[in-house]
Chains A and B, each alone.
Chain A
Amino acid sequence: MPEHIALGKSLPRVDAMEKITGKATYASDVYLPGMLMCKLLTSTESHARIVRLDTTRAEALPGVRAVITGNDYPDIRFGSGALRDRRIMATDEVFYIGEAVAAVAADDEITAQEAVELIDVEYQPLPVVVDPLQAIRDDAVPVHEDLESFEGYGFAGGGNNCTLLDADRGDVVQAFQDADQTIEETYQSQPINQGFLEPMACVANVEPNGRLTVWASTQGPYQVRAQLASVLDIPLSRIKVIAMELGGGFGAKLRLAFEAFPAMLAMKSGRPVKLINTREEAFTLNGPRLETNIRLKTGVMNDGRIVAREAYSIFDVGAYLGAGPNAGVGHALGPYKIPNFKLRSYGVYTNKIYVGSYRASGVADMTFAVESHMDSVAHQLGIDPLDFRSMNAVEEGDISVSGARLPRNGLRETLQAVKDRLGLPKKMGEARGLGIAMGEWRSGSGPSTAAISVNEDGTISMLTGSVDISGSDTSMAQIAAETLGVTLDQVVVPKRDTDMAPFTGPSGGSRIVYSQGKAVQMAAEDARNKLMALASDRLGVPPDALACENGKVYVQDNTPQELTLAQLARMSLTSPQGPIVGNASLSSMPFAPVYNTQAAEVLVDRETGRVTLTRFVQAQDVGVAINPMSVVGQLEGGAVQGIGRALSEELQIDSETGRVLNPSLATYLMPLAVDMPEIETILINVPTDDGPFGARAVAEPPGFGPPAAIANAIYDAVGVRIKELPFTAERVLAAIKGQQPKAGFIDIEALLSGENPLV
């Protein structure tokens, strides 16, 4: 094993010092002279026409500098995906409780709030639909009457179906006829919130030269810039987005959220304007996840081979299509070989807060259903669930749902590692159970760029446009350091904005280290090649006789000839090629999915239904861990989010109005330290061909398995299968008492049959 200078080391984060001393600047920490505070007026109606909106009294309040409504914006629809289905602020109609209707900028927060209360708004209620299983029906009340006129709408499903994804392979009808057994089940996941600790925040200011500067709490500064340009109808080049330190996003901060409100108020008032979400708004304004109903049907042979799968998934997207139901197709098979399938995934509008992204939440929904179902099928066949998974697991060379060929991967190694750690199969005590689940993630990709320059003192500057999440700056700096043979402390990672750094895709989907990190590696290699070429010229030896290590380029045959990076950087200033700068760009990375196996041990109290998680073990193929401490930290944090999804978290939604009933951290129950057992994490290393040093994506998969692993453990403990999330004591107790869970009654085929044109 060659000695590594930075790779594979559990080094502290490059931003650790500023964060641990409280000096790191988040968007809410930006204070500018003359800055105004913004407050929002939000809709109290689920669906209504705005018949009167009068801001006169608010504007007259002393200290108020500007008030805006939807009419202050150009008449433009935009969207988060292909479908342009929303306006930045409600104009003549509101579609959910909590939707922004007006905004005020005032000298201080309390005046702004007072002014909001002085805005007169009158609504004329319109019919409301809250339940996605009602909304999907042909005869349902439409959320958007003009759905068919939306740009990007390409699916004539009718009703509230805004999108349909499908995939088919083989002869499903025949395969089900030939199957020895067919098992059919329905699962339901709950609405959840991302739970980022830092509420969304933004400061906007119009600079003296007329350009707009936005200090944002975002994962995607270039995406915010593009969407802002579109909704404000100003040239993109007139906007600078500064991505501040990010206090957690998990997908919620991938796209334009409310930056256009302070931006418009800043344009109107000529003063800097700051908007910070209240915690309540973090639950009610935009972008959580809503319920997903999943119907799975599987045909198997008695020897355990799966021969057919049919899957219908209905994703409630709320009032707008903030994130699509892709996972309903892409992850309906799980990591298994299934030769015949028919997969359908629907996005359905309802009068509720619209969905956003959350750590590949759709995949987590599908994994809950598929991995619970795998256990049901295994039990029906009388095969051990682990063996059943093993005999059907995908292998290198298999063709994925999307048609891509599966490369080398560590799926089986993760299964084996968990089996070994827990000593499976093992007997559990009374009311104790063990369950496992497997997960799969395709790995994020997308446009990535990097520039690496070598400074005159031999340090390295690394410039990328990406926002640091999950320690990605540190991992990328380690990639640059390793490539150039310098220690991590020699790499400078500047704070950046959309003016100074080149375009890159957003920090999400576990794409940064795999994809953006690749660009860093390529840029560093480019810089290294330039250093070697210069050294070769100066030392009079061919480049392949040289090595670049330990801060210098030297001749490999032990002759004492060497030049330090500092010397080379200074020489480069007058060399024909000029200063040393390495560059790289790429638009996508090859398909290299990540696999994991997770196992939960639980104790179920038969009297109360309370489920206690007593042990949690996970193994994930990470390819190569650039920074093991950071990788393990991601896997632990992701697993705990998944455990929260399994046991306690639920955005409670009023079934009549769609209102979020528990918009606070006291009532939305995220895991606390006291709730958690130690998370045991095992890293499997099956390197990718293309990722930097063989690294894989990391952060999404650990959140996938906990719900199914825990459901399977509950089944193992007390013999009941819970098909609805979360597994509250009440729900588990009802199941123990033999009361049928709600999800057991959902008949998606009936909903979609008959005159319904969807099937």
Chain B
Amino acid sequence: MKKPLKLTVNGEPREFFVEPYFSLLDALRDELHLTGTKKGCDEGDCGACTVLLDGKPVTSCLVLAHSAHDSQVTTIEGLAGQDGLLHPVQQAFVTHGGLQCGFCTPGLVMSAVGLLQENSDPSVDEVKYAIGGNLCRCTGYSKVIESIMAAAQEIRDGNG
């Protein structure tokens, strides 16, 4: 039996019905059709489903949808500004080749945004640690790290 769930998703209050056993990931994808958040494993191992829950990166496949009741959720769809301007992390991934197939990308971007909100001057090792739960099979990570470092610079320069 679906039960009502209240969430603020990308700044917009949403009330909808969700099965009690649904993960936050399934609720976002199947009920809200926010398919930018990806399911790579459904077991907490790949990071493709990373979203910000009350500002912190979480693997949404491991969060029961109803346990997030009344929370703030930010997904990849909510990062760009109203004017369509990309978030500095998104822009850096585009410019520096941080994405290839793109399936890991939403999760990686959300992990990076979570990191840079806390620390806009991370070391390479801090970046590696922050994306330590995000698998990417295409890039070998070098350009991902380069992108995140470039985004941090942009944010520090006040262009974020």
A and B: bona fide binding partners: yes
Indicate if the CB atoms of A672 and B105 lie closer than 8 Å.
Answer: no
Given A21-B36, A25-B35, A664-B45, are A248 and B137 also a contact pair (CB < 8 Å)?
yes
> Does A679 sit at the interface, judged by CB under 8 A?
yes
Q: Is B1 an interface residue (CB 8 A)?
A: no
Q: How large is the interface on B (under 10, 10 to 19, 20 to 34, 35 or more residues)?
A: 35 or more
B75 close to A664 (CB less than 8 A)? no
Given that A17-B94, A20-B109, A31-B33 are known contacts, is A676 also in contact with B103, CB under 8 Å in the complex?
no
Give 1 or 0 for each of A4-47: 1 = CB within 8 Å of chain B CB. Answer: 00000010110111011111111011010000000000000000
- Nearest chain B CB to A114's CB is how many angstroms away? 13
Contact flag A665-B109 (CB < 8 Å), given A16-B94, A19-B102, A197-B136: no
Total residues of chain A contacting the partner, CB 8 A:
56
Indicate if the CB atoms of B94 and A20 lie closer than 8 Å. yes
| Chain A residues within an 8 Å CB radius of B33 | 31
Do residues B80 and A21 form an inter-chain contact, with CB atoms below 8 A? yes
Q: A20-B93, A279-B40 are in contact. Are A670 and B135 (CB under 8 A)?
A: yes
Choice from A110, A672, A678 contacting B135 with Cβ under 8 Å: A672
Check B114 for interface membership: any CB of A closer than 8 A: no
In the complex, A369 Cα to B79 Cα: how many Å?
A: 48
Per the bound structure, the CA–CA distance linking A678 and B75 in Å amounts to 30
Q: Is the CB of B144 within 8 A of A673?
A: yes
- 8 A Cβ contacts from A619-649 to B: 629-630, 632-633, 636-641
- Tell me which of B63-71, B125-133, B152-160 binds A: B125-133
Residue of A at shortest CB range from B136?
Answer: A197
Q: Are B145 and A673 in contact, CB atoms less than 8 angstroms apart?
A: yes
Closest residue of chain B to A17, judged by CB? B94
Point out which of A22, A194, A469 has the most chain B C-beta atoms below 10 A from its C-beta. Answer: A22
Contacts A198-B103, A640-B141 hold; do A22 and B77 have CB atoms under 8 A apart? yes
Tell yes or no: B43 within 8 A of A by CB. Answer: yes
- Contact assessment for A637 and B102 in the assembled complex, using a CB-CB cutoff below 8 Å: no
Rounded to whole Å, the gap between the CB of B37 and the closest CB of chain A is: 7
Residues of chain B within 8 A of A640, CB atoms compared: 139-141
Contact of A23 with B40 at beta-carbon distance under 8 Å, contacts A636-B143, A637-B137 already known: no
- Assuming the contacts A19-B105, A21-B76, A471-B100, asked whether A665 and B45 have C-beta atoms less than 8 A apart, the reply is yes
A198 near B142: Cβ-Cβ < 8 Å: no
- Contact status of A633 and B97, CB under 8 A, knowing A22-B36, A197-B137, A673-B145: yes
Contact flags B41-80 to A (C-beta < 8 A → 1, else 0): 1111110100000000000000000000000000111011
Interface string of B82-109 (1 = CB under 8 A from A): 0000100010011111011111111001
> Cβ of B90: which chain A residues have Cβ within 8 Å of it?
20-21
Does A676 lie within 8 Å of B40, measured CB to CB? Answer: no
User: Is the pair A197, B48 in contact by a Cβ cutoff of 8 Å?
Assistant: yes
Main DSSP-derived SS at the B contact region: loop
CA distance A26 to B41 in the complex (A): 15
Q: Is the CB of B43 within 8 A of A279?
A: yes
How far is it, in angstroms, between the C-alpha of A670 and the C-alpha of B100 when the chains are bound?
A: 17
Q: Which of A12, A31, A632 contacts B94 (CB 8 A)?
A: A12
Residues of B within 8 A of A638 (CB): 140
Look across to chain B and name the residue whose beta carbon is closest to the beta carbon of A641.
B137
How far, in Å, is A508 (CB) from chain B's closest CB?
A: 14
Q: Is the interface of A mostly helix, strand, loop or mixed?
A: loop
Least CB separation from A26: chain B residue: B103
**Within 8 Å CB of B137, what residues of A?**
194-197, 248, 250, 637, 641, 670
The reply on A247 being an interface residue by CB < 8 A is: yes
Chain A min CB distance to B30 (Å): 8
A278 at the interface (CB under 8 A from B): yes
B160–chain A nearest beta-carbon distance, Å? 15
Interface presence of A579 (CB below 8 A)? no
**Which residues of A have CB within 8 Å of B19?**
110
Which of B44, B79, B95, B140 has a CB less than 8 Å from the CB of A636?
B140
- Residues of B within 8 Å of A20, CB to CB, are 76, 86, 90, 93-94, 99, 102, 105, 109
In contact, A673 and B102 (Cβ under 8 angstroms): no
Contacts of B145 in A (CB 8 A): 673
Chain B residues contacting A15 (CB-CB under 8 Å) are 102
B91 to chain A, nearest CB (A): 8
Known contacts A198-B38, A665-B41; decide if A248 and B142 are in contact (CB<8 Å).
Answer: no
Specify which chain B residues have a CB less than 8 angstroms from the CB of A666 in the assembled complex: 43-45
Whether A470 sits at the interface, judged by CB under 8 Å, is yes
Contact B132 A247 (CB under 8 A): no
Q: Is A1 an interface residue when CB atoms closer than 8 A count as contact?
A: no
Q: Find the A residue at minimum CB distance from B148.
A: A673
Docked pose: A638 CA to B127 CA in angstroms: 22
A196 to B104, CA, bound (A): 10
Determine if A674 is an interface residue (Cβ-Cβ < 8 Å): yes
- Which residues of A lie under 8 Å from residue B127 when comparing CB positions? 673
Q: Are B75 and A22 in contact (CB under 8 A)?
A: yes
Contacts of A641 in B (CB 8 A): 137, 140
Binary B-proximity of A52-95 (CB < 8 A = 1, otherwise 0): 00000000000000000000000000000000000000000000
Taking a contact as CB atoms under 8 Å apart, the answer to whether A633 and B143 are in contact is yes
**Does A132 count as interface, using CB distance less than 8 angstroms?**
no
Q: How far is the CA of A12 from the CA of B40 in the complex (A)?
A: 25
Chain A residues within an 8 Å CB radius of B132: 672-674
A488 to chain B, nearest CB (A): 13
Q: Which residues of B contact A21 (CB under 8 A)?
A: 36, 76-77, 79-80, 86, 90
In the complex, what's the smallest C-beta–C-beta distance from A246 to chain B, in angstroms? 6
Smallest distance from the beta carbon of B143 to chain A beta carbons, Å? 6
Q: Which residues of the other chain, A, contact B97 by a CB distance below 8 angstroms?
A: 10, 12-13, 629-630, 632-633
Q: A199 on the interface (CB 8 Å rule)? A: yes
Q: Are A13 and B99 in contact (CB under 8 A)?
A: yes
Asked whether A259 is an interface residue with its Cβ less than 8 Å from the other chain, the reply is: no
CA–CA, A417 and B106, complex, Å: 37
Whose C-beta in chain A lies nearest to the C-beta of B44?
Answer: A666
Query: Known contacts A629-B96, A632-B97, A665-B41; can you find 10 more A-B pairs with CB under 8 A?
Result: A21-B79, A22-B34, A22-B36, A22-B76, A24-B102, A196-B137, A197-B135, A665-B135, A670-B137, A671-B141
Kindly list the 5 A-B residue pairs having the minimum CB-CB distance in the complex, ordered from nearest.
A22-B36, A247-B103, A640-B140, A19-B102, A22-B76
| 30 intermolecular pairs with C-beta atoms under 8 Å apart | A12-B95, A17-B94, A19-B102, A19-B105, A20-B86, A20-B99, A20-B102, A21-B76, A22-B35, A26-B103, A29-B29, A195-B135, A196-B101, A197-B38, A198-B103, A199-B39, A246-B101, A247-B103, A248-B137, A279-B41, A636-B141, A640-B141, A664-B45, A665-B43, A665-B46, A666-B45, A671-B141, A673-B131, A676-B142, A679-B142
